[in-house]
Structure 1
Amino acid sequence: MNKVDMVVIGGGPGGLIAAKTAAEKGYSVVLVEAKKDIPKITRTCAQIFYLSHIGGGQAYTKPVRVEIESGGKAKLVLPDINFSVEYDGTLRACYDWRHLSPNGNCVYTSRNKLWGFIFNKGILLKGLLDDVERLGVTVRNQTTCLNAEDTRYGVKVQVRDSKGKTSSIEARKAIVANGVNSRIVENLGLNKTRQKIGTTLSGIGYIMEGIECPYPPSSWISFAYPSISSYINIWMGPMAEGTWQIGTTAKATDSPVNIMNRFLSTSNFAPWFKNAKIARKSAFSITPRYPIEEPVVGNMIIIGDAAAPAETWTQGAIACAYHAVKAIQEGTIKKYIDWWKESFYFNSPDYYKDFARYPTLNMFFKDNELDYLYGLIKNQLVSNIHEELIKHADKIRVERPDIYERLKKIQEISFEDTIKSK
């Protein structure tokens, strides 16, 4: 049985930062990760380092910045805690966030303003993994964490390796960073008090070469196309290497693969993809739950997506790891809980009100109706499409009273109504 100061469960950005930071402070650390190739990205991920957010719902609320150094290196910086992470890969700046209706009417939630950088997450993870191994952290890849329990003297974690052999790791402290739908969170019983938010969602992402997109690769594009996806918009954004990634999310009543096939072959945007090839496919599945209010159980701290409804973003995961290790070192767990509550927008009821507006246009309107609505604010820069349309309520009531009545209903829809099963 291994006995160490700290065991970190999960080898994503949060887990690797936690292991690295703890090792730098002199702790003996074991990192447990289920994947064989830790830097390999197998789950659909937009790989965005947000400087500001203009999408469906904000996550991490503290300031961030990117410092680009000579020689092509960069730092992802969290200035409020004077902490940074080195990154040695390509960055692609994003300035525009375009929302397109079926006939191509475009509305902007960002235009000619830097809101984030696309980065290569695999390169980021590889750099962190190299640091972790250089610092002497024991990395147990291809190892599944089966259970974790608080003990009188610390934590005992049961794991199973790639050959099916089970063993235990004992540590004074544990940081749980194994992502959304964490088995450890479930086994600790924390989900018993976490209400599910709707149903299980599944999604896919295709990294594609040869897309003939008329917009520059500094654009993020959201396609509202109710006849193809009656729930959430299809999205497309650049990858750091120069390709594009396109993806979608579906509830159990539909298949994301079917949605994608329909969009690529039958939509008004199909000509963009006529000569394109799929270079790589990825997928994900998530059962959203409300966040863990106090993500600490005895000698274990749950960080990042494992304690969140979905995403804390890369910077949020990094910040969680930094603060968790600091709290363990200083014995200030209460400070970590307070920081968690104030640093993520999803801990506020307003988050769910904002997010409820994101998919509802697809749920309430047909293709030609969305073309009409987007046409009212075509080429405008807005902070929120639904709120901007409400400003045109008088015109809509006269010209399209049927649309007006449904537009009013959206103001009353709850987050639970937005994502519940049909």
Structure 2
Amino acid sequence: MVKYDIIVIGGGPAGLLAAKTAAENGLTVLLVEQKKEISKIGRCCASMVILDPGFHGEFVHFEGSKIIFPRFGFSVNYSGECVNLTSSIRISPSGYCLTLGDGKSVFAKVVEKEVLLEDLLNEAVDNGVEIMNETIGVKAQNTSNGTEVHLKTPEGMVRMESLITIAADGANSRIASSLGLNVGRKLFFTGKVVSYILEDVECPYANAFIRLMGSEFKGGVYMLPKPPRNKGEPQLFEVIAPSREMLERIIYHSKYSMWFKNSRLVRRRAASVPLYSPILEPVVGKIMVISDAAAWQEAEIQGALMCGYYAAQAATEEIETRNNSLKKYTHFWNSSFEFCWPGVVERSMQYFQLHGKMFNDYELDYIYKLVQDDYIQGTVNHFKAGTYELQAFLRHIDRIKTERPELATKIEKLKQTVKYV
């Protein structure tokens, strides 16, 4: 057995920043990651950094090659390219658009996540973090001296000890499951998606996060521009859908096919993500379950970075003082992340139904046509977007009551549930 101060399981943004920060603090750190190439991304990910002031309790912004977290007092180096998002657009079955944003003000940046991970990995290694790739964290348990983790390596099972374990192994966390933390969590559904990343797409909506609405697409088709891997290369475009068949239909056999007539497929990705209610007590003894492993849906990139940094600082303080400092992470988690607040998840789930299950195709066409020239505050923050859209609908409620009374009833019912806390 090898003993470390900290073992970090998972090499995403949260795990890498946790490992790097702990090593910078002078601790001995082992990072465990199941991928062979840690910075390579095979999972669908919009890779957005959301710039809404106060989102997840922070005021994130970019300064040159740094992502700044002013409230929590740290920054992250990022050497890659970005795409600014200035609109979030929902398109109805007949082509009417509901648009959040003015097309000028930037409310999110799309980053190249592989570059972000590569930058974090290089800094972690430079600070002395030991890496075990192609290794799966299967189980973690508390011991009298700290923690013990069970790891599945290409050569077989091994056990290793540390004073503290940080589990950052994603939404399908084996560590959370091994600790029994998923018992009692509500599973809303499991989202299964595939995506194509293409170049030379001729999308008429610049710098926009796009969602295709209506029964044909089951409310689950998203598109957005992506930055290239290297400066000077063509901008990319990702299309995300519930199945490969739907992707193929959109690209080759739909009214959107003209966007893709000269496009070239660069890579394919997929993901299967369970939407659980969040884990409100993510610390068990000396084991910390952080970021997506404890989240509802996901913590987003900036949330993952916040979790990694704060977990490392709490773990460092605990090792130095043995003063029950890990409870500070629990407080940070519950106070910063909106999905931990009472009622927010349920209201957000109502927002997911706002355009999919709740309104039929004719109703979507009708209401999007009404608001297509309205200014709606720009955001891709799902805790706020539903409120902004509902406010736009309510500006026309008298007309809707006259022309579509059944639709007006649905909208007024939503008024009681779709809120941002």
Q: TM-score, normalised by structure 1?
A: 0.88
The answer to whether structure 1 residue 175 and structure 2 residue 152 are counterparts is: no
Alignment of 1:2-401 (within 5 A): 2-52=2-52, 60-68=56-64, 74-111=65-102, 112-163=104-155, 165-197=156-188, 199-216=189-206, 218-224=207-213, 226-230=214-218, 232-241=219-228, 242-248=235-241, 250=242, 256-331=243-318, 332-348=325-341, 349-383=343-377, 384-401=388-405
Identity percentage of aligned residues: 34
Q: Give 3-state SS (helix, strand or coil) of 1:190's partner.
A: coil
Moved more, 93-102 or 36-45: 93-102
Partners of 2:261 and 2:21 in 1: CA distance: 47
**Is this contact kept in 2: 1:292–1:308, CA < 8 A?**
yes
Q: Give 3-state SS (helix, strand or coil) of 1:200's partner.
A: strand
Q: Give 3-state SS (helix, strand or coil) of 2:66's partner.
A: strand
Partners of 2:291 and 2:130 in 1: CA distance: 22
**Cα deviation code 1:328-364 (max 9, x no counterpart):** 2223222221111110111122343144123332213
Q: Give 3-state SS (helix, strand or coil) of 2:63's partner.
A: strand
1:195 partner amino acid = K
- Cα distance, 1:234 vs. partner? 1.7
- Cα distance, 1:156 vs. partner? 0.6
Structure 2 unaligned segments of length 5 or more: list them: 229-234, 319-324, 378-387
Q: Give 3-state SS (helix, strand or coil) of 2:259's partner.
A: helix
**Is this contact kept in 1: 2:348–2:418, CA < 8 A?**
no
Which residue is 2:322 aligned to? none
Q: Give 3-state SS (helix, strand or coil) of 2:11's partner.
A: coil
Structure 1 unaligned segments of length 5 or more: list them: 69-73, 251-255, 416-422
Partners of 2:417 and 2:251 in 1: CA distance: 31
**Is this contact kept in 2: 1:59–1:313, CA < 8 A?**
no
- Cα distance, 1:405 vs. partner? 4.0
Q: Give 3-state SS (helix, strand or coil) of 2:75's partner.
A: strand
Partners of 1:412 and 1:79 in 2: CA distance: 35
Q: Give 3-state SS (helix, strand or coil) of 1:335's partner.
A: helix
**Is this contact kept in 1: 2:225–2:237, CA < 8 A?**
yes
Partners of 1:59 and 1:183 in 2: CA distance: 28
Q: Give 3-state SS (helix, strand or coil) of 2:58's partner.
A: coil
- What root-mean-square deviation, in Å, do the aligned CA atoms of Structure 1 and Structure 2 show? 2.0
1:213 partner amino acid = C
**Is this contact kept in 1: 2:277–2:345, CA < 8 A?**
no
Q: Give 3-state SS (helix, strand or coil) of 2:280's partner.
A: coil
- Cα distance, 1:16 vs. partner? 0.6
Moved more, 382-391 or 9-18: 382-391
**Is this contact kept in 1: 2:110–2:227, CA < 8 A?**
yes
2:157 partner amino acid = T
Moved more, 153-162 or 395-404: 395-404
**Is this contact kept in 2: 1:145–1:160, CA < 8 A?**
yes
**Cα deviation code 1:351-384 (max 9, x no counterpart):** 4314412333221333333111100011322242
- Cα distance, 1:35 vs. partner? 0.4
The 1:88/1:334 distance shift into structure 2, 3 A limit, reads: same
2:34 partner amino acid = A
**Is this contact kept in 2: 1:103–1:268, CA < 8 A?**
no
Partners of 2:283 and 2:158 in 1: CA distance: 24
**Cα deviation code 1:66-107 (max 9, x no counterpart):** 001xxxxx1011001220011111122222222221222222
1:113 partner amino acid = S
Partners of 2:301 and 2:227 in 1: CA distance: 15
Partners of 2:109 and 2:97 in 1: CA distance: 22
**Is this contact kept in 2: 1:346–1:352, CA < 8 A?**
no
**Aligned pairs, number:** 395
Partners of 1:14 and 1:38 in 2: CA distance: 13
Partners of 2:141 and 2:330 in 1: CA distance: 20
Q: Give 3-state SS (helix, strand or coil) of 1:88's partner.
A: coil
Partners of 1:120 and 1:391 in 2: CA distance: 38
**Is this contact kept in 2: 1:228–1:259, CA < 8 A?**
no
2:175 partner amino acid = I
Q: TM-score, normalised by structure 2?
A: 0.89
